[in-house]
Structure 1
């Protein structure tokens, strides 16, 4: 990996900056328990009504009652579906939880110091996660290392495309207005790294606890092992 050419770093969240357990054992159960009452109380608010309409569209049932919409959302959470309106509504519920201090965004201890160092050395930092942009900003804004949102130049979610498809990374590179080889993508998921490599990006696999290293991408176990 020709590190000197890296001008921008795009990082995944789950399993890369953040313990998967935080997402699956804190965030998802919180949304599962709070979402029904949140929707019943706020269904007429424009931003929420818009997402409820999008859920009905996914259900191919434009007149589905609210309780059926709630059941569908809970089913999507239980089966870890990457459905855009679900991600948006989860983000709204999590915003409430972060602001109440019910939890902080988990980061591995090596993440924040590396992000600060890269930013100070002139690298542009971006996030690409299947969680909504709002959820990404909340996690880094209310992280256990403080508010890290000033470090990032931008955020991408499934609106740009799916994380295992090269076209999503081509779109990201186009938005960054950089040569693909000047962009480094960090993830724990080999299929995502394969797609980024297809788009011409440099790649590094984060092998955190529970991650299986592949043999097609360079691997590190911590951000402070990444020499830029």
Structure 2
């Protein structure tokens, strides 16, 4: 098999490694596995502080153990639960560095590997710790709580008696080893990623209180003219159907003031009724855009959301948003949150243009647009029972989000529930 040189710690040639081995999927999978184990271990209270020198051997039976690579976290000050696969070195036993981690985005300096020449002896504790985790699937454990009476094994690593998270085929599974990870996750916002109170007490009042100011400032812009056109069409339908709160919108010849007064009255009634209609959501998105740009608004997500998004991203799971709010509004909420910009973990946004969230066809459209082999490759999370039923009827896997402030669910609704994304 062809071989390629590797770079030593000081930049000199230090040995040769199999090109096929370096370029195989095994090193990449091991980096992903290491970052996930670090997060799981830290969550269980088994590890804390930064993740420098955390290591796992790259398993490949065709490679002699003395020649195998070791994936090791760089000394970066990054806490273990935030370690990403790209933060890791690939080291053989002689201390050379075939694959380097990616540089930090805020520094042009290349990453450094500190004090790793005697690696084969210094990191054995970490190596045994994580390699032993790979074997835990044979123990049949049933408790997430580590045994308080830890015993040292002959390898110098603690013996954990009760662990229910284990590793299979390079990915982590919980509780049921036969359930594969989803290829895609589709998330609702209100009551799922974000408190309902943020939407009802912050976003809706902001749009209601600023609709007049927004229309007055942007009345002649193409964007607002398009918003008004959609609202006119919606109000005409509402008047025909006798929708409460709908008032006629005069023609433009009546003057801007009269048109805007009618628009404001209709929008306020739509917001009060919590209408899930495109005309309202599109206008709200444009109003909120001004609020976010002026630092008057900041998106809010639950504490577990950024951790889960990072976790799914590292595992190659694609995450999408499906909300009644416009795609613009969705990007605004996740682009500027109390945990920073989370859009880097999201692959796309769906709104009511794909269909009503309580209709099965909407979820069929989404699963087909995602290009999955079957609808069950998609996991949908929502707090609304009717949405859960519609998604299930379309063949998607469904979990119902139970968050503070969410409405009650029907008795015997038949769906699994989670109160945190970290339970998934």
TM-score normalised by L of structure 1: 0.95
User: Which residue of 2 is the match for residue 216 of structure 1?
Assistant: 414
User: Which residue of 1 is the match for residue 354 of structure 2?
Assistant: 160
**Counterpart of 1:184 in 2: which secondary structure?**
strand
Q: Distance in 2 between matches of 1:198 and 1:17?
A: 23
How far has the Cα of 1:210 moved from its partner? 3.3
Q: Distance in 2 between matches of 1:210 and 1:26?
A: 15
Contact map agreement 2:219 2:225 (CA 8 A) in 1:
yes
Greater RCO (CA < 8 Å, at least 6 residues apart) = 1
Q: Output one character per residue of 1:149-174: Cα deviation in whole Å (capped at 9) or x when no partner.
A: 11111100000000010000000011
TM-score normalised by L of structure 2: 0.52
Contact map agreement 2:299 2:332 (CA 8 A) in 1:
yes
User: Which residue of 2 is the match for residue 206 of structure 1?
Assistant: 401
How far has the Cα of 1:67 moved from its partner? 1.8
**Counterpart of 1:101 in 2: which secondary structure?**
coil
Q: Distance in 1 between matches of 2:249 and 2:209?
A: 25
- Kindly tell me: are residues 111 and 5 of structure 1, through their superposed partners in 2, closer, same or farther at Cα, counting changes over 3 Å? closer
**Counterpart of 2:180 in 1: which secondary structure?**
helix
Larger CA deviation: 3-12 vs 20-29: 3-12
**Counterpart of 1:102 in 2: which secondary structure?**
coil
Contact map agreement 1:18 1:108 (CA 8 A) in 2:
yes
Aligned partner (choices 369, 376, 380) of residue 185 of structure 1: 380
Larger CA deviation: 133-142 vs 66-75: 66-75
Q: Distance in 2 between matches of 1:63 and 1:72?
A: 12
How far has the Cα of 1:218 moved from its partner? 0.7
- Kindly tell me: are residues 36 and 113 of structure 1, through their superposed partners in 2, closer, same or farther at Cα, counting changes over 3 Å? same
Contact map agreement 1:6 1:184 (CA 8 A) in 2:
yes
Aligned partner (choices 318, 322, 325) of residue 131 of structure 1: 325
Q: Distance in 1 between matches of 2:415 and 2:294?
A: 40
Residue 294 of structure 2 is aligned to residue 120 of structure 1: no
**Counterpart of 2:347 in 1: which secondary structure?**
strand
Q: Report how many aligned residue pairs link the two structures.
A: 226
Contact map agreement 1:205 1:213 (CA 8 A) in 2:
no
How far has the Cα of 1:66 moved from its partner? 2.8
**Counterpart of 2:395 in 1: which secondary structure?**
coil
Unaligned runs of 5+ in 2: 1-175, 237-247, 252-258
Q: Output one character per residue of 1:76-112: Cα deviation in whole Å (capped at 9) or x when no partner.
A: 1122111212111111111111121112101000111
1:69-80 equivalences under 5 Å are: 69-80=263-274
**Counterpart of 1:155 in 2: which secondary structure?**
strand
User: Which residue of 2 is the match for residue 20 of structure 1?
Assistant: 196
How far has the Cα of 1:57 moved from its partner? 1.1
Larger CA deviation: 205-214 vs 42-51: 205-214
Unaligned runs of 5+ in 1: none
Aligned partner (choices 289, 295, 305) of residue 111 of structure 1: 305
Contact map agreement 2:195 2:405 (CA 8 A) in 1:
no
How far has the Cα of 1:17 moved from its partner? 0.4
What's the C-alpha RMSD, in Å, of the aligned pairs? 1.5
Residue 234 of structure 2 is aligned to residue 58 of structure 1: yes
* Larger helix percent: 1
